[in-house]
Amino acid sequence: MGLLLILAYVLLSAEENTNLNLWWFHLVDNFGRFNNYAWGKRSYEYTIGIFNQIKGETVKKYERNERYPYNFHGFPLAIMIWAFEAIPGLGKQFAHRLEGDRIPRMLGWDFQQTKVDGESVSTFLDTKIQIMQLRVKRTLVPS
């Protein structure tokens, strides 16, 4: 059951109310098959699909140059870690970077808050943008 939770809410970052795919039960039942599955590709395709769906639905409601909100249910952990590393101030605000290089990267962060909500992130980013103190790394070294 633990693998199902990791699969549904970390790797595939399912929304709050979701039905578990029956195939997932067969997959977690065979540990070798589970470990050999292409999780990175599957998680990437799933995440990009959600981005495109949300973006398409959201953009239709707003004028061309108007600013619009962009929300994620079950914000994918990998994207959050990427954001913390790409925008160092964001990482400092919502988490604590641990000493040394750790692989996978998610092991290099300690979260002080139990939840990083979109409103707090948006307020932080808006403030930094207004005072022109938002630093963004253009590239990250792959791990």
Beta strands in the chain (DSSP E): 96-97, 109-110
Per-residue confidence at 4, pLDDT binned at 50, 70, 90?
confident
Residue 142, token pair as written in the block: 């792959």
Q: Residues 34-77: pLDDT tens digits?
A: 888 887 777 777 777 777 777 777 667 776 666 656 555 555 67
* pLDDT value at 138 more than 80: no
pLDDT computed for residue 113 by the predictor = 62
pLDDT computed for residue 93 by the predictor = 86
* pLDDT value at 83 more than 60: yes
**Residue among 36, 52, 41 at smallest CA distance from 11:** 41
- Mean pLDDT value across residues 6-25: 70
User: What global pTM score does this model have?
Assistant: 0.48
pLDDT computed for residue 135 by the predictor = 82
Query: Is residue 140 within 8 Å of 86, Cβ to Cβ?
Result: yes
* pLDDT value at 126 more than 80: yes
- Listed ranges 50-64, 65-79, 82-96, 110-124; the one with the highest mean pLDDT: 82-96
